[in-house]
Amino acid sequence: MNLLRLIRYRFFLFAGLLPFFLGQMIAFGTGGGFDWKIFSLGLLGIFFVLTAVELFNEYFDSKVGGDRIFSQEEVNIPNWFWTLGIAALAGGFVIGLYLASLTGWWVLFFSFFGFMGAYFYVGPPIRWAYRGFGETVIGLCYGPFMVLGSYYIQTGKIAFVPFYASLICGLSVFCLAILNEIPDYYQDMLVGKRNLVVRLGKERALVLLKAGLATVFAMLIAGIVFKAISPPALMAFVTVPWILVSFKRVGTNLDDPGLFRLAVNTIVISHVVIAVSLGLSFLV
């Protein structure tokens, strides 16, 4: 099996890179300026960290059989995945140090928590994903930490508006993480992965997912009412009918992986639309 097929490219591209771009758009749109050198260095640093996340996830999951316990295809993850992951984290750390020297020490704060999430999401001894904190870590890392960090390297400051937008982005990613775990309920339970879906059960996890998405759209409306974000962010609401249809289909049969593929694709696209709409609302 080609090892490249293991990389969860959708999460890499959509959950990982979009928050960085969102922070950059907020910085530019709110008058914080835009420096191509800082943008390029920040993007390279994020790329290193996201690469490490993918490598560590595959390496540590393979040690306990996670994600492939029901698969008939044997996959051997080489030890160099871990080595390359450490090298990628080191590259991101070096870039973080340099950006901190240009903009301020808050870069190190965001970098530290990003590294904590990258390695210990499935890495021992913490294993956030196995203790019911993985979804929260994902929401924080791909929401407030990355969006605010991206905004900070361009502006050198922390502000309420990017923080509010980062909460919307982070909660959207949190919902995507919950939905991704529902089809893996049985295999996660067998390998001891006590994530929120395993702890709550699939039915209550689906309720949590719906509540999370409802909160995302409520925060979009509240942000416009209180002028934290501008009306173009309402473009995200075009995804609501599609979300409702997909949830109606999966709600009657939580054990059908085919139906969940539709739901996952729906939430992935919805997350992209939400993040892009938020970003455009600061550029208009």
Please give the residue range of the domain that contains residue 261. Answer: 3-67+75-283
Q: Can you give the length of the chain in residues?
A: 284
Entry pTM = 0.90
d(CA 284, CA 282): 6
Instruction: Please provide the average confidence, as pLDDT, over all residues in the chain.
Output: 87
Q: 174: Cβ–Cβ under 8 A, 6 or more apart, which residues?
A: 135, 136, 138, 139, 143, 212
State the pLDDT confidence band at 16, using cuts at 50, 70 and 90: confident
Mean pLDDT of 209-226: 95
Q: What is the per-residue pLDDT across 56-80, written as a single tens digit (0 to 9) for each?
A: 988 888 776 655 544 445 557 788 8
The CA-based angle 205-169-97, given to 5 degrees, is 120
The whole-number pLDDT of residue 75 equals: 59
Nearest Cα neighbor of 266 from 280, 249, 281, 246 is 246
Return d(Cα 255, Cα 246) in angstroms, integer: 14
Lowest mean pLDDT segment, chosen from 17-21, 107-111, 262-266:
262-266
Please state the rounded mean pLDDT for residues 245-269: 79
In the prediction, which pLDDT does 5 show?
Answer: 45
Residue 106 reports pLDDT greater than 90: yes
Structural domains of the chain, count = 1
